[in-house]
Structures are given as structure tokens and as C-alpha cells.
Amino acid sequence: MDSEPAKSIIPSNFIPGNSYEGSLSKFILENIPDEIVQGMKRRQSLRIVGASMVDNVNYEGNLSVVGSYLAHEGVICENLSITGSAKFSGFLAVRNRARVTGSIMVDKNIVFVNNSTITGSILVSENLISSGKLTLVGRTTVNKKLISDGEVRAVAKLRASELVVLGTLTSQRELLVDRMVRARNLFVGRGGEVGGILAENVVVANNPDKELISKYPQLPSGVWQTSDSKLTLEYLKAVFRRLLRRKRLHMLSVRGDVVGDNIYLENTEVFGEVKGRVVTIGDNVVIHGKLQYTESVELPEGSDIDIQKVDEIKGLPSNSK
């Protein structure tokens, strides 16, 4: 991982992936440069109903907004609750939980320490750093990096320059990443475009069935409806909708390589190579480079993919344990 520090809130000695005590976000909060914290106004808590503007505040308690909120500089708080819209011209750091229903814009970095849920749109001009579970229900755009030492679940479109997730990353809609996606477990459900993939377990599947899900217990339960669901009216409607748009596949385009210990791909085009320990290729997969594997490979009947069994693949996540 590169060592380029983020600006303002992330200390210059912080490198994602290096050892740190406690959670990633707590480490960052504890190392905010003194000159930033000392220049902030200290307040207890704030509850707003309506509209408000503030400057450079460190809340020892909670920040609760029902309406609109504008912060001209940085904000630190214990818990964050926003129903409406908020714009932070500086950074935003939440020491515990964040719950946002509406829209939020941050001109610098966001740090979430505990489990947080954003229901609505979020735009981050620099980096988003998270610990615990981060649930993104609305459209999310992070102009630089999204880094998490926990779990990230994106229900709507997720766009970032780079993704680094030490736990599980689940993308239920379009995933757009300029550079690499690195995660322990990666599940992509509705295509998109990424620079490359490095993960222990990689699953790209529009509608995984129970057999596939059973092979990957890391897949969060209830994310996708399985193909052998009960024949309810809603399920039949969903099947009918899929038949109507069958020609419109949710393809994932990977400009570089896909590297992982266990890989399952369908509806995927890889312009680089696929390298894995156990590799399964489903329908509608194009690999422009070689497919290298060390243990086993499964291909569709009649596949013309160039495969190669090798003794070792450098760079597999399991090799670094």
C-alpha cells in the first residue's frame, strides 16, 4: 500500500496497513496534530432544529441536526445524527457512531470510529476512514481513498479512487474504483469498473444461488435473493423483471489483474490476468490475459480461456499470513 499521507487530519506517520493499537479510526483521532485540536472551540453538545452555521468546533458530546447544517472548518463530536443536509468545509471526525438520513458533503476527510449508517448521498472530497461496520445506503462518492479496518456494505452506487478494506466489502450495486480494490472478502453484485482486485475471497455474481453462498460463509446474509427462493408473487415479479432485461447484464470491468485465494467470476471482463488458488469461472466471462491457478479451476463448457497450472503465485493474500 502506498504511504502517501492524507491531508489535515491524518498524521504524516500513518501508513494504512502498518501496526496500530486499537481501531484504525481511534489511532487517527489520537494522532490529530495538536495545532489542529488546540485551535478548535470546545463545546458540550449541540442539537439543531432548522438551519445553523458553525466554525471549527470540538464537541465533547453529540451533534444532532434536524434541518441543515454548515460548518466552515473542522468538526469533532462523540455521536453524529443528521436528518436533512450537512456541509463540512473542513474535516469531520466522529468518535463513536454516525447516523445520517439525507445528504452530507465533506471538503476534506471523514473519520468514523464505530458502526455508522449513511442513508442518503455522501460526497467526500478527500478520504473516508472507518472502523467497525459502515453501511452506505445512498450513492457514495469518495474522491480519494476509502479505508476501513472493519466491514463496508454499499447498497447503492459506490465510487472511489481506491478502496482498502481489511474486512468484508459488499457492493450491491455499481462499483466504480479508479485504482485497486483490496479487501479480505469482496462481493460484487451489480457490476461496475475497477482498476484491479486483490482479496482472499472474490465473488462477482448478480444472483448467487444457495450452493454458491454456502461456499462463501463470509457473504453477509440477506444481501441477495437466492435463485431457489419460494414462489411468492414478489419473487415471480422479480423473475419476470430479470427476463425483460436479460440482455442488459451487470458486467464488471477490471482493467488490471484479479488476484485471490478463492475466486468466483461471472459477468466479468478482465483485461489483465486472473491468478488464484481455487478459481471458478461462470457465464459471460472474458479474460484477455492468462488464468493461473495452483489447486483447481472450473470453466464453462467450450471455454477458450488460456489457463495455466503453476506451483506458486506470488502476491496471494494467504502467502502473507
pLDDT band at 316 (very low <50, low <70, confident <90, very high): confident
At 17, give phi and psi (nearest 5°). 105, -20
d(CA 249, CA 34): 51
pLDDT in tens, 114-143: 889 999 899 999 999 998 899 999 999 999
pLDDT band at 22 (very low <50, low <70, confident <90, very high): low
Question: Grid coordinates representing 213?
Answer: 453462498
Which of 241-250, 260-269, 309-318 has the lowest average pLDDT?
241-250
Reference 56, options 5, 9, 7; nearest CA is 9
Contact assessment for residue 144 and residue 161, using Cβ atoms and an 8 Å cutoff = yes
pLDDT in tens, 203-262: 998 877 667 767 776 666 555 544 444 445 554 555 555 555 444 568 999 999 999 999
Length of the chain: 321
d(CA 146, CA 10): 13
Report the DSSP pairing between strands 46-54 and 128-130: unpaired
Q: What is the H or E stretch that residue 243 is in?
A: helix 233-244
- Name the CA radius of gyration of the chain, rounded: 21
pLDDT score at 166: 85
Q: Could you tell me which residues come within 8 angstroms of residue 314 by beta carbon, excluding any fewer than 6 positions away? A: none
d(CA 104, CA 213): 34
- The reported pTM is 0.82
The domains of the chain are located at: 23-173, 195-321
d(CA 220, CA 114): 19
Mean pLDDT of 304-317: 91
Contact assessment for residue 145 and residue 159, using Cβ atoms and an 8 Å cutoff = no
Percent of the chain at pLDDT above 70? Answer: 80
pLDDT band at 7 (very low <50, low <70, confident <90, very high): very low
